[in-house]
Amino acid sequence: MPELPEVEVTRLGIAPHLLGQRLEGAVVRDSRLRLPVNADLAGRVAGQRLLNLRRRGKYLLLDLEQGAILIHLGMSGHLRVLPQSTPVQKHDHVDLLFTDGLCLRFHDPRRFGAVCWVADPDRHPFLRHLGPEPLGVDFTEEYLYRRSRNRQVPIKSFLMDAHIVVGVGNIYANESLFAAGIDPRRHAGRVALPRYGKLVQAVRDILEAAIAQGGTTLRDFTRPDGRNGYFRLSLAVYGREGEPCTQCGALLHDIRISGRATTYCSHCQR
């Protein structure tokens, strides 16, 4: 599933083409997504200007003059800015049509994504209980330390809890815990404040590096300009189980925490 950097790369890729443009309608070819596409989507958006395009966790929000369009890429979704005359391909489910002749086309083979109009996105059930953004000012070592007290869950599960912090998926949780030198099995309540400081910095550094490098190449994700991201070349532990640690040379271990593949170095992570 595309993670926060992939979604942010998508936002950065499409925003320059569409911000300030006015919508003339929408074409819905298949409404059977994770959430059914609004039957009246075309009427809801017609005539409205796109005021802002922002990200909340792994969700994209297209803020209009009234309401917003909420988009989730699901497991295999991606967006393209194309001329409206571009031939439609299989799995091109939704087009948002702009008056300048462009469209924002949503393609999703598995149909686990979402495209829906919402009146108040920040109060939507998917968004209203989310934790702070990992690249925002509210994500601090003091915040994590306070939320973690008396928590017996593994620190990796804690870090991936969207109620604690949004958008730190499996790939980046693995990488951040390795960079901070924290064993992913350690209980969140047993991590000291200074170590949370290292973890916060590691999360920020790794997510920013991934965004700068175009996102991690996943099987079903390509960038809005059609090129794959290449941050996977820089991964230190994720997907490298049984290979030598880049720091100490010991073989990396692979376990499952909360059902998710977890790779770590027993020598470097304590």
Active-site residue, 125 included? no
34, 49, 204, 260: which is the annotated catalytic residue?
Answer: 260
- Name the DSSP letter for residue 265: -
Long-range contacts of 42-45 (CB under 8 A, 24+ apart): 44/117, 45/69, 45/96, 45/117
Catalytic pick among 56, 58, 105, 156: 58
Whether 58 is a known active-site residue: answer yes
**Whole-angstrom distance, CA of residue 245 vs CA of residue 130:** 34
Amino acid (one-letter) located at 50:
L
Active site residue 65: no
> Is 223 within any annotated ligand binding site?
no
Cα distances (Å, whole numbers) of residue 184 to 115, 153, 262: 35, 10, 8
Tell whether 49 is in a known binding site: no
What letter would DSSP give residue 196? H
3-class SS string, 102-153: EEEEEECCCCCCEEEEECCHHHCCCCCCCCCCCCCCCCCHHHHHHHHCCCCC
List the catalytic residue out of 3, 8, 24, 141.
Answer: 3
Neighbours of 209 (CB within 10 A): 13
- Does the annotation list 149 as a binding residue? no
Which DSSP string do the residues of 220-258 spell out, in sequence order? T---TTSPPP-GGGG-SSTT-TTSBPTTT-PBPEEEEET
Name the nearest CA neighbour of 264 among 169, 174, 157, 172.
174
- Closest among 267, 268, 244, 240 to 254, alpha carbons compared: 240
Tokens of 243: 């290979």
Q: For residue 191, give Cα distances in angstroms to 45, 141, 180, 203, 261.
A: 48, 11, 11, 16, 21
Instruction: Identify whether the C-beta of residue 2 lies closer than 8 Å to the C-beta of residue 215.
Output: yes
Catalytic site positions: 2-3, 58, 260
Could you list the residues known to form a binding site for DNA, using ranges: 91, 110, 151
Could you list the residues known to form a binding site, using ranges: 91, 110, 151
